């Protein structure tokens, strides 16, 4: 058997051909026999991207490089006769168009926050009143995020009543933003109906405070 000279095992050497004579699929390596030369070590990581794992008897084409302890190893392995690797083409979908319902959520959320801080600036409520809308809005959005990810992972979901309570307890702005941003709970009519009722309640409360129709206790 002929042993590869050191100079023949260069990074940019010529391609050689051989037949896979041993293969341990669990460990991902084997050896290819090359006529008139030393068997070449073949590792699964040396396969060209997209190729399936080889089988014993497959004809291979590869570049011989110096492997561990100077033994010949295969690089850039191509499986002869195998179907060409599939190219993974990433298709970017155009962003979804804003519907009237989307616009209503995107306009309602900042209106709630702006109104809450106006109430504070005008002295109609204590400073913590506006902060409560902001903090609870973040908490409500976080509940929607958890529920969305739990649904994808097939885990136990966040109860709908918990999200409704977070929205009702001054978190409605965050809930509206989360529904749009995460595309979550936007198709369930019952859930949307309760969200609208919560928004109407808070919009009425803030409008009444701004118009001095009611005063903060």
Which pLDDT band, with edges at 50, 70 and 90, does 93 fall under?
Answer: low
Smallest Cα–Cα separation from 24: which of 63, 49, 53?
Answer: 53
Bigger pLDDT: 129 vs 70:
129
pLDDT of residue 8: 44
Nearest-10 crossing angle of helices 127-153, 100-121: 150
Work out the average pLDDT over 134-162.
91
Smallest Cα–Cα separation from 99: which of 186, 201, 164, 163?
Answer: 186
SS3 162: helix
Work out the average pLDDT over 91-101.
71
Spatial separation of the C-alpha atoms in residues 163 and 145, rounded to whole Å: 11
What are the chain's domains? 6-79 (2.40.50.140), 100-210 (no CATH)
SS3 106: helix
Q: Is residue 68's pLDDT more than 60?
A: yes
Which pLDDT band, with edges at 50, 70 and 90, does 108 fall under?
Answer: very high
At 59, give phi and psi (nearest 5°). -85, 130
Say what the pTM is.
0.56
Between 54-58, 97-101, 102-106, the lowest mean confidence (pLDDT) is in 97-101
pLDDT of residue 1: 46
DSSP, res 168: I
Alpha helices in the chain (DSSP H): 100-121, 127-153, 160-166, 172-181, 189-210
Q: Is residue 9's pLDDT more than 90?
A: no
Which pLDDT band, with edges at 50, 70 and 90, does 12 fall under?
Answer: very low
Q: Is residue 159's pLDDT more than 60?
A: yes
Work out the average pLDDT over 159-175.
95
Percent of the chain surpassing pLDDT 90: 53
DSSP, res 123: T
């Amino acid at each position: 058997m002929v042993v590869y000279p050191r100079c023949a095992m260069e990074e940019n050497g010529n391609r050689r051909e051989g037949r896979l004579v041993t293969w341990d699929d669990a460990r991902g390596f084997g050896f290819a026999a090359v006529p008139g030369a030393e068997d070449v070590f073949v590792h699964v990581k040396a396969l060209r991207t997209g190729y399936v794992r080889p089988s014993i008897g497959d004809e291979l084409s590869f570049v011989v490089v110096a492997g561990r302890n100077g033994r010949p190893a295969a690089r850039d392995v191509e499986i002869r006769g195998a179907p060409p690797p599939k190219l993974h083409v990433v298709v970017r979908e155009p962003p979804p168009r804003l519907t009237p319902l989307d616009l209503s959520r995107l306009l309602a959320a900042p209106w709630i926050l702006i109104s809450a801080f106006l109430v504070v600036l005008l002295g109609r409520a204590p400073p913590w009143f506006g902060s409560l809308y902001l903090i609870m809005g973040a908490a409500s959005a976080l509940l929607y995020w958890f529920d969305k990810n739990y649904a994808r992972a097939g885990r136990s979901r966040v109860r709908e009543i918990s999200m409704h309570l977070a929205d009702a307890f001054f978190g409605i702005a965050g809930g509206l933003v989360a529904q749009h941003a995460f595309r979550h709970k936007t198709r369930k009519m019952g859930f949307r109906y309760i969200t609208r009722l919560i928004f109407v309640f808070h919009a009425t409360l803030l409008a009444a405070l701004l118009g001095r129709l009611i005063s903060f206790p």
